Amino acid sequence: MQTRKSQWGNKGIRVSDACPTKAIDWKMGKVSVNTSDVEIGNMIRTGVRDSKDGRWTPALTKEAIRYALWVHEENRAEYDAVVGARI
């Protein structure tokens, strides 16, 4: 299990070792904080669908989406801290 703590006062998250957290971190670092949660979920689903990796199960996909949304919320919190307000 991997445990991540929030740097911005949000609740932490635990995901399995199978969840590709580094790849998701990289992807979410390139996404605007204004991107909707629905779009984030769709990005992960598209990546899974296009992947040739047979380890993707519905449960792992759901976990990856949950983690991506958590990272996205962390990025939003960081943006808020830097500019002082949410768009």
Three-state DSSP class for residue 13: strand
**Predicted confidence band of residue 7 (pLDDT cuts 50, 70, 90):** very high
Domains of the chain, by residue range, sit at 2-83
| Ramachandran bin of 56, using left for φ above 0, alpha for ψ from -120 to 50, beta for the remaining angles | beta
**Predicted confidence band of residue 86 (pLDDT cuts 50, 70, 90):** low
Q: Would you say residue 31 has pLDDT above 60?
A: yes
Gap between the Cα atoms of 50 and 58, Å rounded: 14
Taking residues 54-64, report their average pLDDT.
96
Taking residues 33-54, report their average pLDDT.
95
Output the pLDDT for position 84: 81
